[in-house]
Structure 1
Amino acid sequence: MEKKKIKIAILSISSLLMISMTASAILADIQAYFVGVDPSLISMVLTIPALMGLVFAFASGPLSLRLPKKSLVIFGLVCGLTGGMIALLFGSISIYVLLGCSLLLGIAQGMNSTMSMALIADYFVAEESGALMGLQSAFVNGGSMVLLFSSGMLAGISWQMSYLVYLVFIPVIFLVIKNLPKDQAPAHAEEKHAEKSAKLNARVYFTALTMFLFGVFLFVFQTNIALYVAGKGLGDASTSGLINTSMSAAGMLTGILFGRMQRVLKKLVIPVSLLVGGMGMLLIFVLGSLPSLFIGAMCCGFCLATINPAGTFQAANAVHPSISSLAIAIVTAATSVGIFVSPIVSNGVASFAGGNIEIKFLLAAVGLAAVGVMSFVGNAILDKKQTI
């Protein structure tokens, strides 16, 4: 019963991890409302949570060694609720109020993305841990689908009303208070004496490198698919929305099945995931038709929902349990850095190729395949060294 309560708390937190993306549907309305404001400043309403998320994803690891994880989770959830409510009530006053709210949302996003995985590593072991990490990924994708749809419907009334979805933080806060233990996981309480000797190792850093490159190449899809659809005359914003929804739906289904996949593929999970993502990108580059975009989106959704729990599971199990939170924080932060760098890299390559947007998908296809091979070879070498 205790573990069931902990699962409910973790999955409820996970369902809100993509809530800051609801701003993507209202950026045009915000720009129309704040006449004369620099468009790059408007876009920061969406990008600031990612940057703050990077900072707090990394910081939450060391903090969790000194403070109860339950307290950190509640702090993050309260920051998210506060940011959403200020935006709802006072966001129309100034763009800088919205940017301040985005800072609070970034704190919530970064802190709880690390803590949700760290809690799984604390309270669950072996296959149960891997299966729950996959289910966590499913809730991230499923939650984002519901939140994006709800905020889009509310935005039809006014763009400020889309922030009403942030009221969902309230029941989640109560679920966490009720179901999540405040003390350290019992299995690790007696291991305090080992913390001083516990160290990060080569596998953690190699996994972080893999996740960084994954972020660089996979998020070429999310940052360019709307431009590709519009540029090729394949549809409008609603078409891009459906393609992104198919990616989330594939990710949700993959997350549910992740436990079984991990049992079958074992150490091949990450390489296979990256190769499937690369195949999706290649399909878009070669065919470029609307059906290929949907299939490519589902391949990318599979890759995203597989590699996130697999990479986290690998990093958490590579170190002493007392510092698993720190290992998870490093891997999560590496992914965020990759996502941030992604448009810089892809735009640079596209500019070099004469502004051809298709070349970005070729870059992503080759990059993901290469990282898949690198992951397989690198982990094989680390396994060999470990047995010596």
Structure 2
Amino acid sequence: MQKTKINSTLIGILGLTMVTRLDSVMAPSIVKIQQTFPQADVTQVESIASIGDVASMIASFIFGFILTKITYKHAALIGLSLLAAGGLLPIFIHQSIAQLLFFALIVGLGSGVITTVLPSLSAATYQGERRSKQFGWNVALEDGFAMVWIVLGGFLANISWQDNYYIYGITLVAWILALFFVPNLHPKDTATTTTSEAQPTKNRWGLIISLLLIAMIVEMLVAVLSNKMAIYLHTYHIGGPSTAGQALVFVRAASIVTGVFISFFRRTLHNYLLAGGFGSILIGASLFIKIHTFVASAIGAFLIGTGGAIILITVPFLLSNLTAATTYPIVMGSFSALTSLGFAFSAWFFKYVTAWFTTNNLSGTFILTALISGMIMMLLIVTNLQKRATLPNEKIEEV
């Protein structure tokens, strides 16, 4: 792409990062929705904030195939239209929980489309180290915007839970940006901008599958914090729900910092970047096991968040080295679907596996997190997987 086209595409990418995490902004309103519909099943009400994850997982996988048939612009506009419809219609139509659940599903479908388009468009626009940096900036911006939307959503929820839905008005801004700045190109038109012909085809799909599984596992490990932080702080008399919220902010902050400084991490760790990410999770989980204070919890959350961000930025970059532009949307659709599955499956996995070696699910969860992280870290070092997934001519340098 020419430089002017790349610069305009960057505006389109920015518009997409604004809305990728909108599927969780209704969480602050769950209690008020339950009060409005006291006869409704509590689980159904809580599902308003989580059912979108299921829809997003399905949409990511399916749309990975659809994106190979349409342009980036058309795909982005479809996803943003779904987000806008699912998020704004409840302002006017909210007579039952069933309606709100339906709209939450629509939001999830839109979110799944966007999380498939965004990395594919980024990979098609940039090459080499600049591509890696863009993946980092995407994650940093996604989490940065997510923090803003959740805070604003909480403020609006204090007025009325219906007002919380006004946050989705940002999708209209993103839609306009996508209309003008997302290129009307098919993935096949950018085929020369992705994987190098020098990359050997031998065992390429083995590497791709391995990287996808790594992404799913790391999302499962990071989800431990969302599932266990409040329980952990309460069990060790460190704090209540508000304290848990403060501690979880460090996970978002870690993603932002890591996204901005991903080039530094790459230059420092080189082909051991993925191993370093699991090492960071190992140290963070160990702090939760050994030291029961808020400071240790915050540092542990930051380290786990840093490790997770390193891996979730690096894996899509490595996949872009291994995958042709025409099939990259399918691979990234699988990536989005599997990471969503890892997050959703996390609580059940740790519930049943920790029961094999301890009756204390809380401490067992962090012990198992540390063990899994240590095992995968050693496996990555021994197999040298990251080096085998890196282009032979790729240079790690500041661009």
Asked if TM exceeds 0.5, the reply is yes
Residue of structure 1 in register with 2:28 after alignment: 25
Q: Secondary structure, in 3 states, of the residue corresponding to 1:141?
A: helix
Among 325, 331, 335, which residue is 1:327 paired with?
331
Residue of structure 2 in register with 1:166 after alignment: 168
* Partners of 2:31 and 2:217 in 1: CA distance: 31
Q: Secondary structure, in 3 states, of the residue corresponding to 1:201?
A: helix
Residue of structure 2 in register with 1:113 after alignment: 115
**Pair 1:56 & 2:59 matched:** yes
* Partners of 1:90 and 1:347 in 2: CA distance: 38
Which of 17-26 and 345-354 deviates more? 345-354
**Pair 1:146 & 2:148 matched:** yes
Residue of structure 1 in register with 2:218 after alignment: 214
1:273 CA displacement? 0.9
Among 155, 158, 178, which residue is 1:156 paired with?
158
On the 8 A contact 1:217/1:363 being kept in 2, the answer is: no
Q: Secondary structure, in 3 states, of the residue corresponding to 2:106?
A: helix
Residue of structure 1 in register with 2:350 after alignment: 346
Q: For residue 10 of structure 1, what is the amino acid of its counterpart?
A: I
Residue of structure 2 in register with 1:82 after alignment: 85
Question: Unmatched 5+ residue regions in structure 2?
Answer: 393-399
Q: For residue 89 of structure 1, what is the amino acid of its counterpart?
A: F
1:45 CA displacement? 1.1
| Cα-to-partner distance string for 1:282-305 (whole Å, 9 max, x where unaligned) | 101211211111111111221232
Residue of structure 1 in register with 2:12 after alignment: 9
**Pair 1:368 & 2:373 matched:** yes
1:351 CA displacement? 5.1
**Pair 1:290 & 2:294 matched:** yes
Q: For residue 34 of structure 2, what is the amino acid of its counterpart?
A: Q
On the 8 A contact 1:315/1:331 being kept in 2, the answer is: no
Closer, same or farther: CA 46–374 of 1 in aligned 2, 3 Å: farther
Among 229, 249, 252, which residue is 2:253 paired with?
249
* Partners of 1:296 and 1:27 in 2: CA distance: 28
Residue of structure 2 in register with 1:264 after alignment: 268
Q: Secondary structure, in 3 states, of the residue corresponding to 2:40?
A: coil
Q: Secondary structure, in 3 states, of the residue corresponding to 1:247?
A: helix
* Partners of 1:264 and 1:148 in 2: CA distance: 34
Closer, same or farther: CA 118–187 of 1 in aligned 2, 3 Å: closer
**Pair 1:299 & 2:294 matched:** no
Q: Secondary structure, in 3 states, of the residue corresponding to 1:354?
A: coil
CA RMSD of aligned residues (A): 2.4
Q: For residue 98 of structure 2, what is the amino acid of its counterpart?
A: Y
* Partners of 2:277 and 2:134 in 1: CA distance: 18
Q: Secondary structure, in 3 states, of the residue corresponding to 1:222?
A: helix
Residue of structure 1 in register with 2:395 after alignment: none
| Cα-to-partner distance string for 1:308-355 (whole Å, 9 max, x where unaligned) | 110111112112232122222222222122112101011224555335
1:371 CA displacement? 2.1
Closer, same or farther: CA 66–221 of 1 in aligned 2, 3 Å: same
Residue of structure 2 in register with 1:188 after alignment: 191
On the 8 A contact 1:221/1:361 being kept in 2, the answer is: no
TM superposition score normalised by structure 2: 0.89
**Pair 1:73 & 2:76 matched:** yes
1:184 CA displacement? 3.0
The number of residues matched between the two structures is 380
Percent pairwise identity? 21
Among 34, 41, 44, which residue is 1:41 paired with?
44
Please identify which structure carries the higher helix content: 1
On the 8 A contact 1:213/1:371 being kept in 2, the answer is: no
1:61 CA displacement? 1.4
1:143 CA displacement? 0.8
**Pair 1:98 & 2:75 matched:** no
* Partners of 2:15 and 2:311 in 1: CA distance: 21
* Partners of 1:169 and 1:237 in 2: CA distance: 30
Among 178, 181, 185, which residue is 2:180 paired with?
178
Question: Unmatched 5+ residue regions in structure 1?
Answer: none
